Amino acid sequence: MLRAFFVHLSENRSLRKFAESSSIGRRVSGRFVAGTEIADAVRVTQAVNRAGMSVSIDNLGENVTNPEEARHSAQLYHQILDAIVAHQLNANISLKLTHMGLDVDEGMARDLVSGLVAKAASMNPSGFVRVDMEGSPYTQRTLDFVHELHRRPGHANKVGTVIQCYLKRSEKDVEDLLAEKIRIRLCKGAYKEPPSIAYESKADVDANYIKLMKMLLKSDTYHGLATHDENIIRQAQAFATREKIARDSFEFQMLHGIRRDLQQQLVKDGWRMRVYIPFGTEWYPYFMRRLGERPANVFFIARNLLRS
């Protein structure tokens, strides 16, 4: 119920326009969004790196409506890659295909993303581009896009995607991706989907996450387990230990501003951790989805508003 409410709010254009242009909106979003400029993302990434964690940087945005917006988005990502090199950051990038113009011109979007993958691959051995998953209307298009990019010369192991385990189709999608050794970020899913294609109960979503997590860990490909759920984290740790899976063969991933205590504890205990750091002026949809995922996020924002 809470998630559906905030997903609905995330699609409200009037509220979005007000929030993104107001000082109050920018202030309360600061818990989960690094800022509006590349320099903000660099600053936060440096702090996270000093704490022993790697980063994935995302310039927030989706569903551009013309080629100029798509090219501008791609250019910002080129600047992010330049900043990663210039500041020697332990970081890669995450992007959405609709931010690269998928709905405008798929061929253009493919060329823009391919250019970013090629640049990331040339930077250092760890250069990598994560293609984020969006709502279910984009699932197959995103997977087809990533499969094709991964097969291009020089792109193998340099581009990966995201699987949302609340979708009932995800096991087959994981099998197809693993067959080509494509790196996966496994998450629960943040979009509102109908029960015909998505599990509704937390128990079913968690069970599917654990099932897919085991497939990933046994695949001999480097994957990311994106979760703040301590029970799932404990099960992943126990499975990796029992199956003698090396701790440096996968990583846990969490969102900037959520469960920092748990992030630090995992690093202290010798597990790899990557923090997803978003920035940009188009932060509102992302912010509202984060509020919908955990009641604690709503309470945190409410406390800060009352203090101000």
Q: What is the largest CA-CA distance in the chain?
A: 54
* Percent of the residues in the chain that have a pLDDT greater than 90, as a whole number: 77
CB 182 within 8 A of CB 161: yes
Instruction: Kindly state the average pLDDT of the residues 27-37.
Output: 80
Confidence of residue 125 (pLDDT cuts 50, 70, 90): confident
- DSSP-assigned letter for residue 184: E
Least confident residue range of 6-15, 117-126, 295-304: 295-304
- Give the residue-averaged pLDDT of 117-139: 94
Provide the residue count of the chain.
Answer: 308
The CA distance from 190 to 133, in Å, is 10
pLDDT one-digit tens code per residue, 9-19: 556 666 666 55
pLDDT of residue 293: 65
In Å, what is the CA distance from 251 to each residue of 11, 186, 203, 240?
Answer: 32, 11, 23, 11
Q: Give residue 24's pLDDT.
A: 56
Nearest of 171, 216, 165 to residue 191 by alpha carbon? 165
Helical residues (DSSP H) of 62-220, grouped into ranges: 67-86, 106-123, 139-151, 170-179, 202-217
What is the C-alpha to C-alpha distance for residues 55 and 85, in angstroms, rounded to an integer? Answer: 14
In this prediction, residues 71-92 reach a mean pLDDT of: 98
Q: Provide the angle, in degrees to the nearest 10, between the axes of the packed helices 139-151 and 106-123.
A: 50
Better pLDDT: 63 or 236: 236
pLDDT band at residue 306 using 50, 70 and 90 as cut-offs: very low
More confident site: 300 or 246: 246
Q: What is the mean pLDDT of residues 54-61?
A: 96
Residue 307 has pLDDT above 50, yes or no: no
pLDDT surpassing 80 at residue 260: yes
Beta bridge partners of 273: 252
Q: Tell me the average pLDDT of the chain.
A: 90
pLDDT in tens, 84-106: 999 999 999 999 999 999 999 99
Residue 227, pLDDT > 80, answer yes
At 211, is the secondary structure helix, strand, or coil? helix
Q: What is the pLDDT of residue 282?
A: 81
| CA–CA separation, 91 and 62 (whole Å) | 21
Q: What's the pLDDT band for 295 if we cut at 50, 70, 90?
A: low
Q: What is the pTM of this model?
A: 0.88
Mean pLDDT of 249-277: 96
Bridge pairing between strands 91-95 and 159-164: unpaired
Residue 28 — very low, low, confident or very high, per pLDDT cuts 50/70/90?
low
* Burial state string for 33-55 with b = 16 or more CB within 10 A and e = fewer than 16: bbbbebebbbebbbebbeeebbb
Is residue 62 pLDDT above 60, yes or no? yes
pLDDT of 31: 78
Q: How far apart are CA 79 and CA 75, in angstroms?
A: 6
Average pLDDT over residues 14-39: 71
Range 223-249 average pLDDT:
98
89-117 burial code (b ≥16 CB/10 A, e <16) = bbbbbbbbbbbbbbbbeeebbbebbbebb
Instruction: Give residue for tokens 């099998």.
Output: 175
Residue-level pLDDT at 257: 87
Question: 137: number of CA atoms within 13 Å, CB side?
Answer: 5
**Residue 305 has what pLDDT?**
41
CATH assignment of 68-244, given 3.20.20.220, 3.40.190.170, 3.30.70.1530, 3.20.20.70?
3.20.20.220
201 has a pLDDT exceeding 60: yes
Question: Which residues form the catalytic set?
Answer: 132, 185
In contact, 53 and 263? CB cutoff 8 Å? yes
Tokens of 141: 């298009």
214, pLDDT greater than 50: yes
Element (H, E) at 288: helix 284-293
The residues that bridge with 226 in the sheet, in sequence order, are 253
